[in-house]
Chains A and B, each alone.
Chain A
Amino acid sequence: MVISTEGLSFNFGSQQVVKSLSLQVPEGSIYGFLGPNGAGKTTTIKLLLNLLKTDQGSIHIFNKELQSNRISILSEIGSLIEQPAIYLHLSGRENLINRALLLQVPEKRVDEMLDLVHLTDAANKKAGKYSLGMKQRLGIALALLSDPKLLILDEPTNGLDPNGIIEIRELLIRLVTQHKKTVFVSSHLLAEVERMATHVGIIHKGEMLFQGSIKDLETISQPQVQVELDSTVDAANLLKKQGFLVTDVNDDHLSLPFTSKEQMGEINSLLNKNEYTVYSIRKVHKDLEKLFLDITQKA
């Protein structure tokens, strides 16, 4: 495990913002840390970076205890927290050079990073004049500058346009698959995480509601039978009379919980016998967006 926490808790005054969190981030994963705004994502990240002092519980990164190995652990981490922290009176390149001096990284890395995040053309422009997306990309370049093993990114696609989001996503996937990095990325957008993460943790009001691989998440979502046909309402009434549970009816399809393949066939023949034309009938996983809402609303 690259990151492993146990019973991690944190209070802001009397309000507990992180509750007994046990994170398990395996090496080589893109770990999507999902949760609505205010769920405690940024607080957790600050705890992982030792910016906030842990009230209870323990944090191990690279199998080393965080408090007592702060500097050696931080030297392997690149991070981006909330809005990127850059000096607005300096140019993009100067920001990177400044950081390279602090980290004793060769200056040649600066140009590589500028190239990587497509800021070479704007390198000499004041960072204060950058668009939000450019600032975000500069922030990512700063995080990657020291070539860290673990990247911790807090909402890295915030404020980016669709192209920018795709670029970042591809960059992160490339870092993990080609350069054997581990990425811990927080987001409030499930669709975002779904497209790149290999592992997911869902946090709500400071509590971990789900943690596992993205496949585990798909399997806990209950599959549904979706039937596409005309006059869905009449068909739904017919199925209900026959003792089926119809969970959703709309203009072009109706849904029932999936129990078995045989049952799917039964539904199909029943509808056919009663002269409903079934355009399609298929098993679908509940979409993760809905699952996410279900999980977070239950809590």
Chain B
Amino acid sequence: MGFWSAVLLPLLICLLLFIGFFSHSEKIAKLPGPMVWLQFAGAILAVMGSLLLPMLIIFIAYSVNNIEHKSETWKSLFSLPIAKWSIYSAKYFYALFLVLLCLTLFVLFTIGFGNFLSVLKPELKFNEYHIEKLLTQIYFKLFLASLGILSIQFLLSLLFRDFLKPMGIGFVATIAGIIMANLGWGYAYLFPYAHAMLTVKSLKPSNIANGPAVPQITVELFTKDIFVSLAVAVAVFILGYFIVLKKSVK
């Protein structure tokens, strides 16, 4: 279930966007190439930073663990001659892989649908600009920004059987993160749930006021929020292992 959600989500969203651009092509046709791309990719990125990415992570972390909760297989997994460390880390890295897969597909589908649009509607100046490198950098940064939340959500989903607890905690924390990031609170970078939003916010081109001129976007990969995200990810991952080690399997 987690796997298909990681595949279908980017596909559906990019498809919707494609339809949107396709049917309103005359409005966008006036824009220069870079702006068309930025509008196209930016529409996804805007939601991505706020709700989409955290929710996706909450869901992936839940589904990877829920499959064992639902089938009551934790006890049989932990009574196999396999180190607890292997079971725990295999689960974690699968969740990590799903997040990476999903974000990669977002990049591929964005570029793919963009180029497809430029074939169908040459008047949209998609072919005037290449966004591949920039987009890859942005999504890679988003991936790094999501690691902190992933570790926390993974642990929550491992500990709680039901969906509501990890989902509720994650949802409230995400909202708090968005508010912090949007208020520009100085310490927002310490809060993992704000990292996706901070990443997207940091992309605001400096010369946007100049109207249709080509905006300059540079991605600074290793900002302090990314370091916090990585540190939280590693710390919670290790902490989670010790909890698994101590925990009784019901």
The residues of A with any CB-CB pair to B shorter than 8 Å are 46, 49-53, 71-75, 77, 79, 81-83, 85-88, 99, 102-103, 142, 146
Chain A's nearest CB lies how many Å from the CB of B76?
4
Q: Is B186 an interface residue (CB 8 A)?
A: no
The contact of B81 among A52, A71, A81, by CB within 8 Å, is A71
- For B76, give the chain A residue with the smallest CB separation: A85
- Tell whether, in the assembled complex, residue B73 and residue A81 are in contact, meaning their CB atoms are under 8 Å apart: no
- Please report the C-alpha to C-alpha distance between residue A174 and residue B6 in the assembled complex, in whole angstroms: 48
Query: Do A85 and B75 form a contact, CB below 8 Å, given A46-B249, A51-B248, A53-B248?
Result: yes
Given contacts A83-B72, A85-B72, A88-B71, contact A75 B78 (CB under 8 A): no
28 interchain pairs (CB within 8 A)?
A46-B75, A46-B248, A51-B78, A51-B79, A51-B248, A71-B82, A71-B83, A74-B80, A75-B81, A77-B79, A79-B76, A79-B79, A81-B75, A81-B76, A82-B72, A85-B72, A85-B73, A85-B76, A87-B67, A88-B70, A88-B71, A99-B80, A102-B80, A102-B82, A103-B80, A103-B81, A142-B76, A146-B81
Write the B53-85 contact mask toward A (1 if CB under 8 angstroms, else 0). Answer: 000000000000001001111111011111100
Closest chain A CB from B6 CB (angstroms): 17
B73 touching A86 by the CB < 8 A rule? yes
Residue B133 lies at the interface, judged by CB distance under 8 Å to chain A: no
Report the bound CA distance from A160 to B147 in whole Å: 47
Across the interface, which residues of A come within 8 angstroms of B78, CB to CB?
Answer: 49-51
CA A83 to CA B76, docked complex, whole Å: 11
Ranked nearest first, the 9 interchain pairs of A and B with the lowest CB-CB distance are A75-B81, A85-B76, A74-B81, A51-B249, A85-B73, A49-B79, A85-B72, A52-B248, A87-B71
**Closest residue on chain A to residue B90 by CB atoms:** A102
Set of chain A residues within 8 Å of B27, measured between Cβ atoms: none
Distance between Cα atoms of A52 and B75 in the complex (Å)? 10
Q: Which partner residue on chain B sits nearest A80 by CB separation?
A: B76
**B24 at interface by CB-CB < 8 Å:** no
- Chain B residues with Cβ below 8 Å from A79 are 76, 79
- Nearest CB of chain A from residue B65's CB, rounded to whole Å: 14
Collect the chain B residues with CB atoms within 8 Å of residue A46's CB.
75, 248-249
A66 to B35, CA, bound (A): 65
Query: Would B79 and A86 count as touching, CB distance under 8 A?
Result: no
Number of A-B residue pairs, CB cutoff 8 Å, is 54
Taken together as a complex, chains A and B put the C-alpha atoms of A57 and B73 apart, in Å, by 27
Report B194-250 residues with CB < 8 Å from chain A CB.
Answer: 246, 248-249
**Which residues on B sit within 8 Å (CB–CB) of A99?**
80
Q: Chain B residues with Cβ under 8 A from A77's Cβ? A: 79
Tell me whether A81 and B79 are in contact (CB under 8 A).
yes
> CA of A49 to CA of B75 in the docked complex: distance in angstroms?
9
* A142 / chain B contacts, CB cutoff of 8 Å: 76
Residues of A within 8 A of B80 (CB): 74, 99, 102-103
User: Of B70, B82, B246, which contacts A53 at CB under 8 A?
Assistant: B246
Contact present for B79 and A50 (CB under 8 Å): yes
User: Can you name 18 extra interface pairs (CB under 8 A) apart from A46-B248, A49-B75?
Assistant: A46-B75, A46-B249, A51-B78, A51-B79, A53-B246, A71-B82, A71-B83, A79-B79, A81-B75, A81-B79, A82-B72, A85-B72, A85-B74, A85-B75, A86-B71, A87-B73, A102-B80, A102-B82
Which residues of chain A have C-beta atoms less than 8 A from B81's C-beta? 71-75, 103, 146
A78 smallest CB distance to B (angstroms): 9
Q: Which residues of B contact A52 (CB under 8 A)?
A: 248-249
In the bound complex, CA of A51 to CA of B248 (Å)? 6
| Closest Cβ neighbor of B74 among chain A residues | A85
B72 to chain A, nearest CB (A): 5
- Per the bound structure, the CA–CA distance linking A38 and B74 in Å amounts to 22
In the assembly, what is the distance between CA of A85 and CA of B70, in Å?
Answer: 9
Name which residue of chain B comes closest to A53, CB basis. B248
Chain A residues lying within 8 Å of B71, measured Cβ to Cβ, are 85-88
The CA of A88 and the CA of B76, in the complex, are separated in Å by: 14
Nearest chain A CB to B181 CB, angstrom units: 38
B73 to chain A, nearest CB (A): 4
- A residues near B67, Cβ cutoff 8 Å: 87
- Please measure, in the bound complex, the distance between the C-alpha atom of A222 and the C-alpha atom of B211, giving whole angstroms: 101
Interface centre among A50, A51, A71, A103 (most CB of B within 10 A): A51
Name the A residues within 8 Å of B72 (CB-CB).
82-83, 85
A18 to B138, CA, bound (A): 56
B84: nearest residue on chain A (CB-CB)?
A70
CA distance A225 to B144 in the complex (A): 82
Which residues of B22-64 have CB atoms within 8 Å of chain A's CB atoms?
none
Distance (whole angstroms) from the CB of A241 to the closest CB of chain B: 61
Chain B residues near A53 (CB-CB < 8 A): 246, 248
B94 to chain A, nearest CB (A): 14
Separation in Å of the B161 CB from the closest CB of chain A? 14
Distance to closest chain A CB from B188 (angstroms): 40
